[in-house]
Amino acid sequence: MATSIPVLIVDDLPQNVMALEAVISDVGVEIITALSGNDALRQSLKHDFALILLDVQMPGMNGFEVARLIRANPKTSHFPIIFITAGMKDLLDQIEGYETGAVDYLMKPFEPVILRSKVKVFKELYQQRKVIEQFYNNLEQIVEERTTELKEANELITKLAATDELTKLFNRRFFNDRLPTAISAARRHSYPLSIIMIDLDHFKAVNDSFGHSEGDKVLKTFADILREMIRAEDIPARWGGEEFIIILPLTNCDAAEAMAERIRVACEIKSESMHGMSASFGVAELRNGENEDSLIKRADDAMYQAKKEGRNRVVRG
């Protein structure tokens, strides 16, 4: 709840201002004064008033003009205005006062009890408004926090759905979703695209000799090698078991073959930590009119050719 409840008193006569201050000084509001219409407008931009007590008959800019300008400003249009004047006995003047946006008026001389009662009402309304504003501010913050949490959760779910649990590379489903898009982009922009199919040699022997936990370590180590060797735009995935596959955008067959050779050499360098494991590679570049199934089959056939020729080598499809 607000600690300060500002009320603006506007009158060109200081003695009138002092009289109003004396009446409402113990109501529990912060009294701010203005001796002209221009001063009142300046004060209205500085404070969020619970109420404005506004004299009508002022030189330069009268109360009606001040009220219209306050109502016209979106920042101040919600301020309640009560006219306090001796010059609104005529019904037309009273109607004009309401048309300018005033909520009430008091004729001089007025009963102090009535003024105090009205100020208390608007003080309570102000406090209630602040409580509601605070509630909605808190609600907006909660909604924003929950929206952020939901977005992060959805991003995590999406990432998990696309990621191989063991190696943290992309999984086969994600690869199958991305390859047609990559092929379409390559054809649209007329740039080359290649893939590399990889199979770890004699992987079953590692599982049989050292257990599946050691086999899992080998798969993780090889996945780390792929992450270190490929580019940011490449898409590496675990194809299944001990097989891996990589999409290489903007890459012709020569460059893809060179990439495969670098990965093969890196695998040899880390062979000791992989129980002597090596890998066989099949490379294929996208051809005109070829679909993803044909491209994958050529890379897969080339990989099996590498195995037939003695493993631990790269073969182009």
Residues serving a catalytic function are 242
List of residues 6+ apart from 31 with CB closer than 8 A: 6, 7, 9, 21, 24, 25
Print burial letters for 264-274: b (CB count within 10 Å at least 16), e (below 16): bebbeeeeeeb
* CB 196 within 8 Å of CB 252: no
The label of the residue with tokens 């205005």 reads: 81
**How many whole angstroms separate alpha carbon 220 and alpha carbon 159?**
18
Compute the half-sphere exposure of residue 302: CA atoms within 13 Å on the CB side of its CA. 24
Cα-flanking dihedrals φ and ψ of residue 34, to 5°?
-145, 140
